[in-house]
Amino acid sequence: MSASLARPLLCGLIAAGMAACAHYAPLPLEHEPQYADTISALQGAAAVPAALTQGDVTRLILLNNPSLKLAGLRRAEARARAEAGALPPNPSFSGSLGYLLSGAGDATAWTAALAEPVNGLITLRARRAEAHATTAEVDASLAWEAWQAVARGRQLTTDILLDEQLFALQAQIAQTLHEQCAAASRAERAGDMERTVTAPVAQAASEADVAAAETERTLAGQRRELRALMGLRFDAPLALAPLPPMPALDDAAADAAIHDLPRHRPDLVALAMGYEAQDARFRTAVLSQFPALSLGYDASRDNSRVINGGPAFTVDLPIFDRGTANADAEGLTRERLHAEYSQRIADARDEARALVVANRLAVLQWRRLSQPEATEPDQAAAAAGALARGDLDRATYSGLAVASLARQVAALQSERVMRDQRIGLEALLGMGMPVIDTEKERH
């Protein structure tokens, strides 16, 4: 080949190789990142109403949650690493030149060798199966993380709306007790009531203030956490729509979900895919017990222009390291993951069945506590009218009002337990998650 053709060909090969390489570019850190100031600044917020429903909250969390965005980057990183580990081994080329320094020869000697590692080809299928299972494990883990974020958003929405009602009731209880305390103090100063009677009233009013203040602090923390889940700043405006009625638990659907738990709960699917990846690693370790072997072709020319060529091979002699220790370790890891998966399935099903029973009990308690609510407004109005006419003293009125409000508080707390248990049950069962096919062909 003439020099005029060789030079452009060599330059073209170098350029093509450089084009196929990854390129570096600086990525400076951003020192002024901020969360969104308003809901309208969030992704996907164009069509949301002024007051967000649980469905709106769920959608905004999935689109804007910072942790889920990072999880997506971790998924891409893990997929790239897995694909890199499943590539065939590169062939190797070696060569040398031997310039004539003295002697009878009249030419420059050279040697060239091309070899391909055989063991990398033997384990290629197992390594690709491992890469496939690893990426599926990462995908399922990401789905579980998103599912938990959605469940937490639903729970926070429920707790905020019910705790707002609870705070209003507790504030009414505190106000009623303070009014009774003020009336008792006036009676004590007039000599109509003893200190032993007024002291418990003052203590009850103080305890009511403490309970209301604690609920107010809890509400502030819940609002802050919900805003963070949605990618909102801590003080961004956030209005929530009233909670819809909670439908009765579908026992048949719950039983079916418990039965199919390993197929549609993402964390259990991720555990199964982790076992599949470990099984492939064990298979790779078993195949790697064969001595490392490289096959190729060698050619050479000596200084007298004699050319030799022929097949060549290189093989490791397994005298010290036979690969059995690594294979045994990978096999024991596979056995541990097998037992862990079985235990997790048993625990998840037992926990789900217990939560179904607990939710039924919570529903019964809520219904029992909610029954008096229909007559409460009439009783409260009648007591207020009797107090205004002077037919009822302040202490008796306060007792009736506080008792009525306390029943409403108990009903609200029972409803919160019932709704939180239902959300936890649906998250635990993966109800609403599609069935994930774990029997796809491994590549």
The per-residue pLDDT for 442 is 43
Q: Is 242 or 405 the better-scoring residue by pLDDT?
A: 242
* Mean pLDDT across 59-81: 88
pLDDT tens digits, residue range 303-340? 888 999 999 988 888 888 777 888 899 999 999 999 99
With a cut of 70, say whether residue 375 has pLDDT above it: no
Q: Is residue 279 part of a domain?
A: yes
Residue 425 lies in a domain: yes
Residue 210 burial (CB count, 10 A): 12
Please count the structural domains in the chain: 1
For residue 413, tell me if it sits in a domain.
yes
Long-range pairs for 360-364: beta carbons < 8 A, 24 or more residues apart: 360/249, 362/414, 362/417, 362/418, 362/421, 363/248, 363/249, 363/418
Examine residue 170 and state whether it is found in any structural domain, yes or no: yes
236 lies in some domain: yes
Measured distance CA(186)–CA(393) in Å, rounded: 14
- Binned at pLDDT 50, 70 and 90, residue 228 comes out as very high
pLDDT of residue 443: 41
For 199, list phi and psi in degrees, rounded to 5: -60, -45
Residue 60 lies in a domain: no
In the predicted model, is pLDDT for residue 296 greater than 80? Answer: yes
Q: Is residue 179 part of a domain?
A: yes
pLDDT category, 283, cuts 50, 70, 90? very high
CB-side exposure of 144: number of CA atoms within 13 Å?
19
Q: Higher pLDDT residue, 222 or 438?
A: 222
Mean pLDDT value across residues 95-122: 89
- 350-373 average pLDDT score: 85
pLDDT at 419 over 60: yes
Q: Is residue 246 pLDDT above 60, yes or no?
A: yes
Chain mean pLDDT for the chain: 84
Query: Looking at this protein, which amino acid is placed at residue 325?
Result: A
Per residue in 46-62, is it b (16+ CB within 10 Å) or e — as a string? eebeeebbbebbbbbbb
Residue 440 pLDDT level (bands cut at 50, 70, 90): very low
Domain holding 431, by residue range, is 123-288+323-443
Torsion sign, CA atoms 308, 313, 316, 318: negative
CATH of the domain at 130: 1.20.1600.10
CB 157 within 8 A of CB 54: yes
Is residue 23 one of the residues assigned to a domain? no
What band does 30 get if pLDDT is binned at 50, 70 and 90?
confident
Confidence of residue 105 (pLDDT cuts 50, 70, 90): confident
**Nearest CA-CA partner of 79 in 146, 23, 142, 150:** 142
More confident: 33 or 88: 88
Beta bridge partners of 183: none
